[in-house]
Amino acid sequence: MSLKYPKLFEPIKIGGALFRNRLSSSPQGYYNVAPDLFPNDDMVGFYETKAMGGFATVCVGDCIVDWKQGRHYDWLLPMDNPKMLPGLSKLASAISRHGAIPSAELSHAGMYAQASFAAGAPLLGPIDMENKYGPVRAMTEEEILHVIDAYGKAAAFAKQCGFGMVTIHGGHGWLIPQFWSRQINTRKDRWGGSFENRMRLPLAIVDSVRKAVGRDFPIEFRMSGSETNPEGYDIDEGIEFAKALDGKVDLIHVSTGNHEVLSATIITHPSMFLPDGVNLKYAAEIKKHVKTPVATVGGFTDPAHMEEVIASGQADVIALGRQTMADPELPNKARSGRDDEITKCMRCSACFGSVGAHRIFYCAVNPVIGHENEARYLPPARETKKVLVVGGGVAGMQAALTAAQRGHKVILCEKGPQLGGVLLCEDQLPFKQKLKAYLEHQAHMLSKAAVDIRLNTTVTPEYARELRPDVIIAALGARPVVPAIKGIKAADGSLAPNVLGAEDAYVHPEKAGQKLVILGGGLVGIELGLYMAGLGRQVTIVEMLPQLSVDLYSMHTLALFEEIDKRGLKIHTSTAATEITPAGVMVSGPEGDKLLEADTVIYAVGQKPLREEALALADCAGEFYQIGDCVTPKNILAATQAAWTVARDIGR
């Protein structure tokens, strides 16, 4: 059989190891651990799933080489604690036994070691300075030598545990780039000032690790090709750093950005406003100047694109981050020509939101993430049932897919002409094309599954009883709330001529005038405002709460704020609309009562769940479940998690 992507699946030798393909699972930390921090079965499942999916390497992130002085959070892996041996050994074995190379990312936060600082340790960096966490003290010669030794000991420990590679984290603003930074490291001794002196610590760490693991053991060095912010270095310096590493490490992994600079973070982890492979240019440029193999990372989802990158010589290895959660099986599917089955990351950053709020990774488009062991060890359904799913939105599609995968006979009814639900209204948004692709993917997978899909079909209680299902899953969704504001409706009860709902505005932007006021500062209102601003409209958003109603933990929120500034949206928080007039909206807020002039007023103040409509079907089958927005309107993550869980439990 000839491979569709021969270059992507061509093995490559890195150090003394053979990578089975050019796809790497980039460093990701895992934070759902007990207070003792020992790796648990959930952690093993998280990484093992990627190895089973066919990745050549799987990197365990956030392995701290000096726990007392160098940790930025309290839930990272302490590589200087020998009690971690059995847990890390089990983790490494779980990855390697599936043919992948387990790697441990060795890191030290330096002057950003906020958790160590909170526990009483000083913030240590190249020089005396202040940062947002407190006073930073310049490291002494003894402390520098201690850190160098700590990297070597951590690498030796990783090798003892069964890891087949180590990744030295020399990017994103942590200790190593703090020392090689021309902007920060102005020391007057042998550890700073000149380029040679600023490179002394990174090269000494590489040398320490090499002595600890041996000549043939692969060492990957992760660096920022550019720190992508005015206060950091750019690609020219990145090239010089890479040239200094050339021949001393086995793989140069070129990322971007600085963890502590928010505008750079959304480039490190590309937002939905950026194209696939946005950071490839940094790796491609560095590759021109080094002989060491180069890895690129940043927003890759399409095997055809990745094949072109490898075939053109722009990089030797492609590292995937969030995509490994959206579909850990991407390598296996791409190798066997099943591209159409790959679930692609939407870059919605639900994973960042959940890990920030709960220290657990969940994925909006892959409900298995966070439940890997539950999925792997679930016994087959004991009884096959006839399942009627009512509603073809996000929740309904996932419920139908999961129920069919479990072997049930599934009928999916959607009252509209196509699957996708309310989110279809966002099809044309440039930055939501990955959402559109996800909806199309789910519909495609349903067409391949043993699911009876019935479009343009409204399910009444009578219709449901005629079908005689064993189980009904109601996923009817919700409808927009029309706020009770004076002037929002005309005398006949219809909307006033200058008022639109958000859905209508998404589908028919031509109905909106030049000057818009959007009522509601949630995700719908903000993204609609950005879309309209991109069409040249003047946009003002009015929100009653003291801040915009978005997930503060999500990386997507950072991207939204960046885009709000770029596109010139005006924001009024702690402000209530009191009346809509032909001239605009009267509001009451911190500046008192005033008129916000508008040609069109658009409301986006929330959704009302269709609970009563769903409950009308409750006695039409022996088992009845409500899921998604018809229970409580939330988001795609909540909808897919509930759908997967309910459908999974049928017939247990």
pLDDT tens-digit map of 40-94: 999 999 999 999 999 999 999 999 999 999 999 999 999 999 999 999 999 999 9
Please tell me whether residues 535 and 454 are part of one structural domain: no
Give the residue-averaged pLDDT of 102-126: 98
CATH number of 183's domain: 3.20.20.70
pLDDT digits (tens, 9 = 90+) for 518-560: 999 999 999 999 999 999 999 999 999 999 989 888 889 999 9
Residue 354 lies in a domain: no
The confidence score (pLDDT) of residue 551 equals 87
| Residue 198 predicted with pLDDT over 90 | yes
Closest CA to 547 of 571, 567, 530: 571
Residue 348 lies in a domain: no
Give the residue-averaged pLDDT of 349-377: 94
- Assign 377 a pLDDT band (cuts: 50, 70, 90): confident
Residue 350 lies in a domain: no
Domain closes at, from 605, 621, 638: 605
Please tell me whether residues 486 and 475 are part of one structural domain: no
| Residue 1 predicted with pLDDT over 80 | no
CA geometry: angle 525, 529, 532, nearest 5 deg: 140
Please tell me whether residues 522 and 464 are part of one structural domain: no
Q: Which two tokens stand for residue 118?
A: 């909170």
Number of domains in the chain: 3
Residue type, 60: V
Please tell me whether residues 425 and 542 are part of one structural domain: no
Domain closes at, from 296, 326, 343: 343
| Residue 158 predicted with pLDDT over 90 | yes
- CA dihedral of 370, 373, 375, 380, whole degrees rounded to 10: -160
Residue 362 lies in a domain: no
Rounded distance, CA 216 to CA 622, Å? 63
Rounded distance, CA 181 to CA 258, Å? 12
User: CA-based Rg of the chain, rounded to a whole angstrom?
Assistant: 27
Residue 212 lies in a domain: yes
Q: For the chain, what percent of residues have pLDDT higher than 70?
A: 100
626 contacts 474 by C-beta, under 8 angstroms: yes
pLDDT digits (tens, 9 = 90+) for 118-148: 999 999 999 999 999 999 999 999 999 999 9
Q: Estimate to the nearest angstrom the gap between the alpha carbon of 492 and the chain centroid.
A: 47
Residue 223 lies in a domain: yes
- Assign 266 a pLDDT band (cuts: 50, 70, 90): very high
Residue 22 lies in a domain: yes
The confidence score (pLDDT) of residue 379 equals 83
Strand pairing report for 317-320 and 23-28:
parallel
Please tell me whether residues 463 and 486 are part of one structural domain: no
Please tell me whether residues 595 and 613 are part of one structural domain: no
Cα 313 to Cα 41, 279, 376, 494: the distances in Å are 39, 15, 38, 60
Residue 364 lies in a domain: no
Residue 495's DSSP bridge partners are 489
Rounded distance, CA 550 to CA 554, Å? 8
357 contacts 32 by C-beta, under 8 angstroms: no
Please tell me whether residues 223 and 307 are part of one structural domain: yes
CATH number of 553's domain: 3.50.50.60
Please tell me whether residues 420 and 552 are part of one structural domain: no
The confidence score (pLDDT) of residue 652 equals 82
Domain closes at, from 343, 370, 386: 343
Strand pairing report for 17-19 and 12-14:
antiparallel
Please tell me whether residues 536 and 472 are part of one structural domain: no
Please tell me whether residues 422 and 494 are part of one structural domain: no
Average pLDDT, the chain: 96
| Residue 156 predicted with pLDDT over 90 | yes
Give the residue-averaged pLDDT of 426-435: 93
Please tell me whether residues 319 and 393 are part of one structural domain: no
pLDDT digits (tens, 9 = 90+) for 10-35: 999 999 999 999 999 999 999 999 89
Q: For the chain, what percent of residues have pLDDT higher than 90?
A: 96
Rounded distance, CA 75 to CA 60, Å? 14
| Residue 404 predicted with pLDDT over 90 | yes
| Residue 326 predicted with pLDDT over 80 | yes
CA geometry: angle 410, 411, 413, nearest 5 deg: 145
Range of the structural domain that residue 419 is part of: 378-479+609-649
Please tell me whether residues 446 and 588 are part of one structural domain: no
Q: Which two tokens stand for residue 459?
A: 């399910």
- Assign 651 a pLDDT band (cuts: 50, 70, 90): confident
| Residue 378 predicted with pLDDT over 90 | no
Higher pLDDT, 2 or 497: 497
Strand pairing report for 600-603 and 134-138:
unpaired
CATH number of 401's domain: 3.40.50.720
| Residue 376 predicted with pLDDT over 90 | no
Residues 6+ apart with CB under 8 A from 457: 413, 414, 415, 463
262 contacts 558 by C-beta, under 8 angstroms: yes
- Assign 380 a pLDDT band (cuts: 50, 70, 90): confident
